[in-house]
Amino acid sequence: MLKKVLKKSLAFIVTGTLLMSTLVGCGAKSDTPSTDSGSDAKNEAKSDKPVDLVWWTIGNEPKDYQLVSEKINEYTLEKLNVNLQIKYASWGEYSTKLSKIVQSGEPFDIAFTSGIENYQDLLNKGYFADLTELLPTATPDLYKFIPEELWTGVTIDGKILGVPAYKDSAQAQYWVWDKETVEKFGIDYENIESLEQLEPALQKMKEADPSKYPLILNANEGINGFFPAINQYDEIVVKPAVGISYTDESATVVGLWEQERVLENLKLINSWFKKGYINPDAATLLELPKSRPVSSVQSFEGGWKDTEVGHKYFGPAYSTRTIQGSFLSISAGCKNPEAALKVIELVNTDEYFRNLLAFGIEGTHYEKTGENTIKKLNDKYEVPAYSQGTFFNMYVQEPNPSTQWDDLQDLQETAFSSPVLGFTFNSTSVQNQISACANIEAKYSSSLITGSANPEELLPQMIKELNAAGYQDIIAEAQKQVDEFLANK
């Protein structure tokens, strides 16, 4: 049985060679991907010199990259007459390294754009190819497969500048609990929807063991999803925090630090810090422990360890930012953008190729345990699959349920959208104000979001400094751009 997503989205678009590749990936008798011997055009194309493409992606190069690369190129040569070189830059260096590569003019073809420093400015400045006209003609299967909302999220000034990964693209936020903790304290975790409802569980855990801290936070994020999920704002500018309420159809841009609901939530978190629910070093802690009693996580059903349980308290919600959390772009200097786009199409519509990229070689790196379930055999091929393309033609890793990706797609289909979905802020005219305000915010935010300082004392001081540095200029410019964006929709 093909996965539900293939039934829903691919059954009517995958024909010819793509159908053959899908059958191979789903367990057809042949172990070798088939060719379409009836296509004269394809045979002629195969006699041409292969197209060489470079794809930059995030993460450390897998131990068995060369082995998997041989299989990848066997397939891309057969299907597309393409030699594909995947280049990796480590988690710590990708952001700045790729920004330099893009701006230097160093040749490349495809890049994981979401991980590039200031990628929105690079998109605005024309460093990446406009795919608007090419997508429906060169890769119609890809164009039909990805929902309209996602294309909207990567459209800037009327130009589609990337290919979004169709996965948990709409943000859903969960309270994720250690299963043993839930059982020990009888926590009714499925009915905890807000910060206020979380407090009785924290109190119960603290009273049972005063030496421990039930809510472990760090300086970088405090409670994950604080502005979008807990306060329900679409952050159209992240640093400094500026946004629009998900429920505000008038699309009024506000400074998030100035909002009453934000202050009330910061006061509650501060009260927890005073009661000892939060670790004392939260404002300076950078690395979180691998296991925590409870945490807020952007995820999906089964997107946590088997020793944990979770419950959704927000979303799913589409915003430009959530969609741009994972997308690929093609260099404006790419000599064969059609070939590059066809590689991306293959990732998203061909089950065999998708799982080869995500998991490596069957029998070497994983084994099938069911029709669409696998068990990893080793760590010789570890890659961030979310940066490559869709989840909806991927195998499911045990012990997750075989319906994991079907369930996720069903969840995504219930998503609501930000009133400014598709809006991308152009910071050029207020770049100095943004830099100054971001530095001010950095001085105060860790203490505020971890509850380490009293927000009624610290927040007014931060807002005073932000306004002196141009916070209101940023808000006004964002409102101007939002109004223009909505007028042109």
Per-residue model confidence as pLDDT tens digits over 392-413? 999 999 888 899 999 999 999 9
Residues 129 and 107 occupy one common structural domain: yes
Residues 255 and 142 occupy one common structural domain: no
Contact 309, 182 (CB under 8 A): yes
- Model confidence at 225, pLDDT cuts 50, 70, 90, reads very high
Residues 48 and 17 occupy one common structural domain: yes
Residues 94 and 186 occupy one common structural domain: no
Residues 202 and 308 occupy one common structural domain: yes
- Model confidence at 325, pLDDT cuts 50, 70, 90, reads very high
Omega before 62 cis (within 30°)? no
Of 385, 417, 449, the one marking the end of a domain is 417
- Tell me what pLDDT residue 47 has: 53
Per-residue model confidence as pLDDT tens digits over 418-463? 999 999 999 989 999 999 999 999 999 999 999 999 999 999 999 9
Residues 339 and 403 occupy one common structural domain: yes
Smallest Cα–Cα separation from 464: which of 479, 443, 447? Answer: 443
In total, how many domains does the chain have? Answer: 2
Residues 302 and 443 occupy one common structural domain: yes
Complete DSSP assignment for 242-294: EEEETT-TT---EEGGG-HHHHHHHHHHHHHHHHT-B-TTTTT--S--S--SE
Per-residue model confidence as pLDDT tens digits over 100-154? 999 999 999 999 999 999 898 899 899 999 999 999 999 999 999 999 999 999 9
- Cα separation of 244 and 227, whole Å? 10
Strands 242-245 and 254-255: antiparallel
Of 370, 386, 417, the one marking the end of a domain is 417
pLDDT at 34 over 50: no
Burial of 270 (0-12, 13-18, 19+ CB in 10 A): buried
- Tell me what pLDDT residue 16 has: 35
Q: What is the mean pLDDT of residues 211-239?
A: 96
Chain centroid offset of residue 469 CA? 31
- Cα separation of 416 and 409, whole Å? 14
Which domain CATH number covers 359?
A: 3.40.190.10
pLDDT at 12 over 60: no
Of 361, 396, 417, the one marking the end of a domain is 417
Omega before 33 cis (within 30°)? no
Per-residue model confidence as pLDDT tens digits over 53-83? 999 999 999 999 999 999 999 999 999 999 9
Residues 93 and 188 occupy one common structural domain: no
Residues 371 and 226 occupy one common structural domain: no
pLDDT at 33 over 50: no
Residues 372 and 279 occupy one common structural domain: no
- Cα separation of 234 and 199, whole Å? 25
- Tell me what pLDDT residue 302 has: 82
User: How large a percentage of the chain has pLDDT more than 70?
Assistant: 90
Which three-class secondary structure state does DSSP give residue 177? Answer: strand
Residues 90 and 134 occupy one common structural domain: yes
Residues 68 and 104 occupy one common structural domain: yes
- Tell me what pLDDT residue 400 has: 87
- Cα separation of 328 and 68, whole Å? 21
27-41, 92-106, 238-252, 344-358: which range is least confident on average?
Answer: 27-41
- Tell me what pLDDT residue 248 has: 97
Q: What is the mean pLDDT of residues 27-56?
A: 56
Identify residue 41 by its one-letter amino acid code: A
Domain extent for 366: 4-164+323-417
Per-residue model confidence as pLDDT tens digits over 463-489? 999 999 999 999 999 999 999 999 988
